[in-house]
Amino acid sequence: MDVTTIENPGFLKDMSVEEMEDLAADIRSFLIHSLARTGGHIASNLGVVELTIALHYVFDMPADRIFFDVGHQCYTHKILTGRAKDFETLRQYGGISGFQKRRESEYDVWEAGHSSTSLSAALGMAIARDLNHEDYHIVPVIGDGALSSGMALEALNTIGSERRKLIIIFNDNNMSISKNVGALTRGFSRLRSAKSYNSLKLNMKDALNRSGVGKVVYTGLKGIKDTLRDTVIDRGIFGEFNVNYLGPVDGHSIKDLIRVMTVAKEYDDPVVIHVITRKGKGYAPCEMDREGIWHGVGPFDPATGKMLASTPAGYKSWSKLMADTLEELATRNEDIIALTPAMINGSSLESFFAHFSERSFDCGIAEEHTVTMAAGMAISGKRPFVSIYSSFMQRAYDQINHDVCRMDLPVVFGIDRAGLVGADGETHHGVFDPGLLLPLPNMIVAQPKNAQEGRDLMYTAFFQKHPFAIRYPRGDVKIPEDIHLRLVPVGSWCEDYRGDTVRLTVISYGPDVEKISEKAAVNQLPVRVVNARFFKPLDLECLKNLAAEGLPVIIYETDMLTGGLSADVLDAVNDLNLSMPVIRIGIGDRYVGHGSLKQLRTEAGIDLNTLFEKITELLDD
């Protein structure tokens, strides 16, 4: 079937199971070849093809509400709701999102880029539905990785007490981005390996309900069924939350999925359908991946599975640079410990975990727990390093504030993916962490301009006794031949470029510093470029010296203006009663969508061309 001709999921109602199985094969082929061109979240989507078809067959969207936890596994859902024809624009500027987006379709009823929100949202929808005396099904799909999050467990606790009509699809592939960890995972494994009591029950019901006598016999077996259920199932995780359980079910059998979902619709209180799927189903490179390499990818060769983009010679990813530096420091200091909330591969910590297994902790999708666990280590004399994406760090804000900064504990945070990140869009841009971290007492916040400074800041962070956050972007950084370690005075800025004369100063941070300096040098501009490598503390002496010159100052930042570097500089200028004309360039009060970094920077007005147009305008005055 040409899936690009699909307009809505209504056609599924007239299909046989065999026809839907053929459709699943067509969708899987379409996904592999389409994502080979655009990139995207391939492994998770290949794993839920049959599940998504069955959901749209059994339920009636948009009246019923089906939505996916995190949302990056919604590609089959998008195909079935008429968006396959737009997949050439997936995650591209102006194109469709890689996540569910309410503005895209009436079939997208919830949107999220962070995990574990679906159950809370579903319960909220169920309460509103019941208060409005409405009647429709609410069906969140949540994975085993997301279900280990504290937020999901909090929601389950309330769901079990509220007892609202709710059908939870527990998509169990024994993976989040990489392999899952923790006691809950072992509990899921026991459920996964158990002989399905519910399959037995469904078969019995189908057989006995064919006659009047059979129905009486089936009803009479209720006591036996309940005893079996209490013995086999309700001692499991979901029973402890007072939630009904159906499963485990083969998540790649459309027939079995339809049967169990049809039964679940008869329940008047919450029920979990435990579905076993295989991440990357149908594409060998994905199926064999247990490290999360195929979770989200760029363009690739579908025949070989070879990625089309590679790291240039002499470069490393920023994540790899910082992880390697951490590992080097850990060989010298046995108190250094690495922690990450389910991002070993994304944070390039594989080598550290292999070499220092006793000092490595993957805490699963539990950012809050990770940070407070690190605080417990720090208060006991250890030197923890928490590697965390900027957009995920937001979820641990209270723990950073209450448990780390308030007690002035020397936890080092590697704030990965700082700044705009491109194709993942609004939910993943790391542009809010300065506004979150800068107000916190005792916190030091820094960002390096290059590999050498990145290593230096990591080295410095472990030679001081306060909370220390190092921001670094997504992407690659050039590694110099002679790279060493040296301490950086905390709170110090430095001049990166000075023209023959100086008529204007540009203050910036991160990799843009060197780009600005290079362009200023090529054009022989009469400017000074200052590397504000510390957001906090500010270099007040530098600010005083700049104010004494009386020259215009441009503060160029690639994060939010509100709560960012320039906002703190203006506060300091005011508090010190300095006279300094300041022009700010940064992201305004808005969310930035998805696209290439170049496109997004231009749209947000934070591209280098905009900066140099402003420089030229000021120099021409």
pLDDT digit string (tens) for 305-360? Answer: 888 888 889 999 999 999 999 999 999 999 999 999 989 999 999 999 999 999 99
- From residue 273, alpha-carbon distances to 52, 141, 303, 403 in Å are 14, 10, 35, 37
The mean pLDDT value for 175-192 works out to 54
Give the C-alpha separation, 281 to 28, whole Å: 9
Last residue of a domain, one of 425, 448, 478: 478
The mean pLDDT value for 29-54 works out to 94
Q: How many degrees, rounded to 5, is the angle at CA 460 between CA 334 and CA 391?
A: 90
Percent of all residues in the chain with a pLDDT value above 90, rounded to a whole number: 78
279 is known as an active-site residue: yes
- Which among 326, 553, 268 is positioned nearest to 459, based on CA atoms? 326
CATH code at 141? Answer: 3.40.50.970
Same domain (yes/no): 445, 504: no
Selecting among 50, 111, 327, 367, the annotated active-site residue is 367
Residue 310 within a domain: no
367 is known as an active-site residue: yes
**How would residue 119 be classed by pLDDT, with cut points 50, 70 and 90?**
very high
Same domain (yes/no): 273, 323: no
Same domain (yes/no): 30, 133: yes
- The tens digit of pLDDT for each residue in 9-18 reads 999 999 999 9
Quick one: pLDDT at residue 182? 54
Give the C-alpha separation, 124 to 436, whole Å: 28
Say if residue 93's pLDDT is above 80.
Answer: yes
Residue 297 within a domain: no
**How would residue 198 be classed by pLDDT, with cut points 50, 70 and 90?**
low
**How would residue 70 be classed by pLDDT, with cut points 50, 70 and 90?**
confident
**How would residue 56 be classed by pLDDT, with cut points 50, 70 and 90?**
very high
| Cis peptide preceding 434, ω within 30 of 0 | no
Same domain (yes/no): 41, 168: yes
542 within 8 A of 533, measured Cβ to Cβ: no
Give the C-alpha separation, 519 to 70, whole Å: 41
The mean pLDDT value for 495-516 works out to 97
pLDDT mean across residues, the chain: 90
State whether residue 220 is helix, strand or coil: helix
Among 161-165, 180-184, 268-272, 433-437, where is mean pLDDT lowest?
Answer: 180-184
395 is known as an active-site residue: yes
Q: Which amino acid is at 568?
A: D
Q: What is the DSSP letter of 491?
A: T
Residue 298 within a domain: no
**How would residue 434 be classed by pLDDT, with cut points 50, 70 and 90?**
very high
Same domain (yes/no): 161, 278: yes
Say if residue 228's pLDDT is above 50.
Answer: no
Last residue of a domain, one of 248, 268, 287: 287
Among 22-26, 191-195, 548-552, where is mean pLDDT lowest?
Answer: 191-195
- From residue 329, alpha-carbon distances to 147, 284, 311, 356, 467 in Å are 35, 38, 24, 12, 18
578-606 per-residue burial string, b: 16 or more CB within 10 A, e: under 16:
eebebbbbbbeeeebbbbebebbbbebeb
Say if residue 206's pLDDT is above 60.
Answer: no
Residue 574 within a domain: yes
The mean pLDDT value for 24-52 works out to 94
The mean pLDDT value for 259-263 works out to 96
Instruction: Tell me the residue range of the domain where 24 lies.
Output: 3-287
Quick one: pLDDT at residue 215? 53
Quick one: pLDDT at residue 265? 96
Same domain (yes/no): 470, 531: no
Give the C-alpha separation, 40 to 53, whole Å: 20
Residue 484 within a domain: no
CATH code at 532? Answer: 3.40.50.920
Selecting among 65, 83, 279, 533, the annotated active-site residue is 279
Say if residue 195's pLDDT is above 70.
Answer: no
The mean pLDDT value for 422-434 works out to 95
Give the C-alpha separation, 516 to 506, whole Å: 9
Residue 29 within a domain: yes
Q: Which amino acid is at 316?
A: K
Give the C-alpha separation, 473 to 320, whole Å: 12
Place of tokens 């530098």: 542
Quick one: pLDDT at residue 201? 53
Give the C-alpha separation, 171 to 607, whole Å: 41
Same domain (yes/no): 237, 164: yes
Among 159-173, 236-250, 322-336, 506-520, where is mean pLDDT lowest?
Answer: 236-250
Same domain (yes/no): 337, 199: no
Tally of CB atoms within 10 A around 133: 6
Residue 127 within a domain: yes
Greater model confidence, 298 or 293? 298
Q: How many structural domains comprise the chain?
A: 3
Greater model confidence, 556 or 182? 556
Quick one: pLDDT at residue 235? 42
Quick one: pLDDT at residue 310? 82
Last residue of a domain, one of 425, 452, 478: 478
Same domain (yes/no): 197, 276: yes
Quick one: pLDDT at residue 200? 46
Give the C-alpha separation, 34 to 89, whole Å: 10
State whether residue 159 is helix, strand or coil: helix
State whether residue 371 is helix, strand or coil: helix
In sequence order, the β-bridge partners of residue 307 are: 300
Residue 522 within a domain: yes
Give the C-alpha separation, 302 to 285, whole Å: 10
Quick one: pLDDT at residue 320? 97
- Which among 44, 27, 57 is positioned nearest to 260, based on CA atoms? 57
Same domain (yes/no): 182, 280: yes
The two three-digit tokens of residue 322, written as one number: 């910082």
Say if residue 188's pLDDT is above 80.
Answer: no
Q: Which amino acid is at 293?
A: I
Compute φ and ψ for 418, nearest 5 degrees.
Answer: -70, 140
Same domain (yes/no): 227, 94: yes
Quick one: pLDDT at residue 222? 44
Give the C-alpha separation, 269 to 56, whole Å: 21
Quick one: pLDDT at residue 232? 40
Say if residue 163's pLDDT is above 50.
Answer: yes
Quick one: pLDDT at residue 183? 56
**How would residue 482 be classed by pLDDT, with cut points 50, 70 and 90?**
confident
Selecting among 28, 78, 395, 474, the annotated active-site residue is 395
Q: How many degrees, rounded to 5, is the angle at CA 471 between CA 466 and CA 473?
A: 165
70 within 8 A of 342, measured Cβ to Cβ: no
Same domain (yes/no): 176, 35: yes
Say if residue 437's pLDDT is above 90.
Answer: yes
Give the C-alpha separation, 498 to 48, whole Å: 56
370 within 8 A of 396, measured Cβ to Cβ: yes
State whether residue 110 is helix, strand or coil: coil
Say if residue 193's pLDDT is above 80.
Answer: no
**How would residue 298 be classed by pLDDT, with cut points 50, 70 and 90?**
confident
**How would residue 94 be classed by pLDDT, with cut points 50, 70 and 90?**
very high
The mean pLDDT value for 533-559 works out to 97
